[in-house]
Structures are given as structure tokens and as C-alpha cells.
């Protein structure tokens, strides 16, 4: 079965020039990892409360899982998917609430 993100089934090699640039790939990966880290921090904070909110924990876990799936998709993504994912996650990073 072909990967709908990358029908050829091969991983793009950023260094070869055949796929997305290494810098755009790394930027997208970095942005996704920052969002994943934020969810991890939120999970830790919620779990350390005297009475954790189970609904919030479930929501945070689901969101972090979705981010991890997006991170995995980047491995075989083409330049357009990498750019869109990077833009989406960079916007999320900018909008993350920070203490």
C-alpha cells in the first residue's frame, strides 16, 4: 500500500536535493517537538495537582499523541507537507501559554 503523503514510499533525503531542504525539515521537527514538550509539561503539572482533572489529562494525552503522529509523518513527507506542518506548529508554539 502506498503512503498517501509520499506515494513513492521512499524517504526523501534532504541532503540530496530530492526532497525538502534539511533546514525546513529540521524547523518543522523542532516546532512539533516544542509543542510535544509543552504537552508533557502540562501533563506533569496536572498530574502533580492534589486532584488531577481526568478530562484535562485525557485531552492533553490525546493532543500529545496527535503531535507525535504528525512528527512521524514528517519522516516520509514531501516538501509541501513539511512546510504546512512546520507553519502550523510554529504558529502553535507562538500561541502556547507560558507562565
Domain locations along the chain: 19-95
68: helix, strand or coil: helix
Mean pLDDT within 2-30:
61
The string of pLDDT tens digits covering residues 57-82 is 999 999 999 999 999 999 999 999 99
Output the pLDDT for position 16.
Answer: 46
How far, CA to CA in Å, does 28 sit from each of 17, 23, 92, 93, 99? 17, 9, 12, 11, 24
Output the pLDDT for position 20.
Answer: 60
pLDDT band at 21 (very low <50, low <70, confident <90, very high): confident
Secondary structure element (H or E) that encloses residue 26, with its range:
helix 22-47
Output the pLDDT for position 98.
Answer: 81
Question: Do residues 69 and 14 touch, judged by C-beta distance below 8 A?
Answer: no
**Distance in angstroms between the alpha carbons of the first and the last residue of the chain:** 45
pLDDT at 14 over 80: no
Amino acid at each position: 500500500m502506498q503512503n498517501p503523503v509520499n506515494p513513492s514510499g521512499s524517504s526523501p533525503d534532504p541532503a540530496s536535493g530530492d526532497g525538502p531542504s534539511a533546514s525546513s525539515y529540521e524547523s518543522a521537527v523542532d516546532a512539533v517537538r516544542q509543542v510535544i514538550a509543552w504537552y508533557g509539561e502540562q501533563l506533569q503539572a496536572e498530574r502533580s495537582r492534589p486532584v488531577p482533572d481526568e478530562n484535562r489529562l485525557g485531552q492533553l494525552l490525546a493532543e500529545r499523541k496527535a503531535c507525535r503522529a504528525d512528527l512521524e509523518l514528517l519522516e516520509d513527507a514531501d516538501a509541501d507537507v513539511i512546510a504546512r506542518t512546520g507553519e502550523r506548529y510554529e504558529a502553535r508554539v507562538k500561541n502556547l501559554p507560558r507562565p
